[in-house]
Structure 1
Amino acid sequence: MKVRVKFSKEGAMKFIGHLDIMRYFQKSIRRANIPIAFSGGFSPHMIMSFAAPLGVGVTSSGEYFDMELTDDSLSSKEMEDRLNATMAEGMKVISVRQIPDGKASACMSLVAAADYTVTFREGKEPSVEWKNGQLEAFFAQDSIEILRKTKRSEKITDIKPWIYKLELRGDKVWMQLSQGSVHNLKPELVMEAFAKFLGIELEPFALMIHREEVYADRGEEEVRQLVSLEALGDVIA
């Protein structure tokens, strides 16, 4: 049986990198006595996979990993309670859902989009007016070009098609971005392009970023139908 675990990562835990988070959950699963399955061979390992690595310094209330269990003896509530009993401050298991078996349902391959909220640290807001329709004007452009750097090269890229939604919510910038293996857009790049539109440069460490949710796309061709990874599973009674 395969299950999907949704968890949050807040507070000081935001400084823990992805590989250490993987090791953290491996230990938590052992402590919680969850009947996780192991691979075969000379070096068996837990059969689990994470949806989308979270950058260091970014908080989240919508992180996911899948794991394979050897039996169905535990309910969703029992697994949630057992895992939360092992969690450190800043980490919390939100839900456990059963998902279909097979590679097609793996969270890593399903990731298509994510919601983010971005706020400015106190004293590091833009030095120019940016709340009076500026964000709307920025998003209304036909194209939004940035210098995108990769390990091999850097080139001018139009990121507008990868920004699905962008709006001001109070003092926060909320955005829904393309994610996954094909087009993976970081919120930092969107804010960098917005700063360029305003004619300024962001101060170092000016942004606080929170990932709210991660989605799969159940639509066809050019019509997106985003569904949270949690909604693709069923509660185990």
Structure 2
Amino acid sequence: MNFFKDMILVNKTTLKKSVTSFSKNWIIFFTGLVYVILNIAIILIVSTLFRGVLSILAGLVMAIVTSSLISNYLYLLFNIINYDRITWNDFKQGFKHFLWKVYGIFFIAWIGSFILTSIAGILGINAKLLSRVVSIVILVSLNPLPETIYQKYLSSGESIKYAFEFMKDNWINWLIPNAIFTLVLYQITNTLILNMFVTHLSFNFDFTLESLTLYILGQGLFSFIMIYRGHLFKLLSTSTPRKRMYMNKFYD
């Protein structure tokens, strides 16, 4: 199959499924406000309870809490992509469903950051510059890591490896639509997302009409993008161009 024809078919199918899923599960739009409120409440609680000597535990607690919120969002996407519906029960279960897998990835990232800082210190390299370069490489090479977490039954380490292998095989089909969405989102919200595990757009509590309109448009587009990514990943990770060529019904 011609590469460009395959890319068009892949995105045409993904778009159709994403529009259907978003129309049925538009409620996911409001998770952004829920996460904002939860984050504020949790930060206030942690800063109040973990003072003095206990402050050394605050970082650990916040890492677990952050992992839990990410787990919740990924579990909602899991249900949308696989069952085309989310329920209140899914929301309640989501906080723990992928918790330790996400936390495991954060722990691996922390170890990597520690090693990177040590190497930079030994070699006398600009640590900030090196960190930025490595962050960009990771952002690109492991971009489908969130989708890998909730669509593949793998450990934290295996998920990282799989996401890298997926990008090697599908980098054009994956990066082109994601780059377009990123640019459109930036034009609307002036926000450039450089974090793979973003669960919502920030709300600055500016209640002017313009600010609220841009937030609603941005959060709606962000929710659609995450659903699109989920369907795109599922399609690409379960088929090959050759298979898609002989299975036209795949695009029905």
More helix by share: 2
Higher relative contact order (CA 8 A, sep 6+): 2
More strand by share: 1
